[in-house]
Amino acid sequence: AQKITQTQPGMFVQEKEAVTLDCTYDTSDPSYGLFWYKQPSSGEMIFLIYQGSYDQQNVTEGRYSLNFQKSRKSANLVISASQLGDSAMYFCAMREGQRGAQKLVFGQGTRLTINP
Amino acid sequence: GAGVSQSPSNKVTEKGKDVELRCDPISGHTALYWYRQSLGQGLEFLIYFQGNSAPDKSGLPSDRFSAERTGGSVSTLTIQRTQQEDSAVYLCASSLAGLANGDTQYFGPGTRLTVL
């Protein structure tokens, strides 16, 4: 079974609109972390936001927020007021187990295109 | 401060040759990870190193792949007798393992390997 599922291969959004990128996960470990990364055409993976499984509130980092619904096992990324520079691939990833060095499992990604 | 660096940025080799890919992590990061990104497989974990512990090699696809980390810093990923299916972008990441930041992994720019 897929541990991380991103159901939107591609999304097209008008500039300045908000966009939600979906991510669902599957784990039986009570301790885990969820990450979102952005990969522009240059290829580098840029960390955007992190949510821990025990965090009570959704995390916000600037225009990025993570809509964490634990009971649904979803961790959607919300980008407010989208900009042309937001066009990129976006990956959701999960770390299982206690904090510390653990591998990340990635979803297949969503290609976001912001139209002017 | 300086981010994760990788060299070379591009490598073209002939089938059957050995290649070495280098990763220089962020100074002070105790954990170092290697991932592979290919068109058909997405992002796959290969191996990680954490301090003086034995590395987690569970993601290495075959015994042609090996990695070492000298002095707890620089790491080299070696692929022996390269095959065309080894063509991919090899990404290195590092993290401050175990701290209260979710153990965020920061990625380097990657090495694009092409096996002819």
Please tell me the predicted confidence (pLDDT) of residue A6.
Answer: 96
What's the number of CA atoms in the CB half-sphere (13 Å) around residue B115? Answer: 18
The shortest C-alpha distance from B62 to chain A (Å) reads: 18
Q: Is A90 helix (H, G, I), strand (E, B) or coil?
A: strand
Contacts of A62 (CB under 8 A, 6+ apart): none
* Residue from A44, A105, A108 whose CB has the most chain B CBs within 10 Å, to mutate: A44
> Quick one: tokens of B79?
């692929």
Window 5-24 of B, Cβ < 8 Å to A: none
pLDDT tens sequence across B14-70? 999 999 999 999 998 889 999 999 986 789 999 999 888 888 899 999 999 999 998
Beta-sheet pairing, B42-50 with B5-7 = unpaired
CA distance A72 to A91: 19
Q: What is the pLDDT of residues B67-91, one digit of tens each?
A: 999 887 999 999 999 999 999 999 9
Strands, E assignment, chain A: 4-5, 10-14, 19-21, 24-25, 32-39, 46-52, 60-61, 64-69, 74-79, 88-96, 105-106, 110-115
pLDDT at residue B98, rounded to an integer: 57
Of A47, A101, A106, the CB nearest to B48: A101
- Give me the residues of chain A with pLDDT under 50, please: none
**What pLDDT is stored for residue A72 in this prediction?**
95
Cross-chain Cβ contact B109/A106 below 8 Å: no
Residues of B in contact with A35 (CB under 8 A): 102, 104-105
From chain A, pick out residues whose CB is under 8 angstroms from the CB of B102: 33, 35, 50, 52, 95, 99
Residue B113 has pLDDT above 80, yes or no: yes
Closest-CA residue of chain B to A53: B102
pLDDT of residue B100: 47
Q: Is A44 within 8 Å of B108 when comparing Cβ atoms?
A: yes
- Cβ contact A50:A64 at 8 Å: no
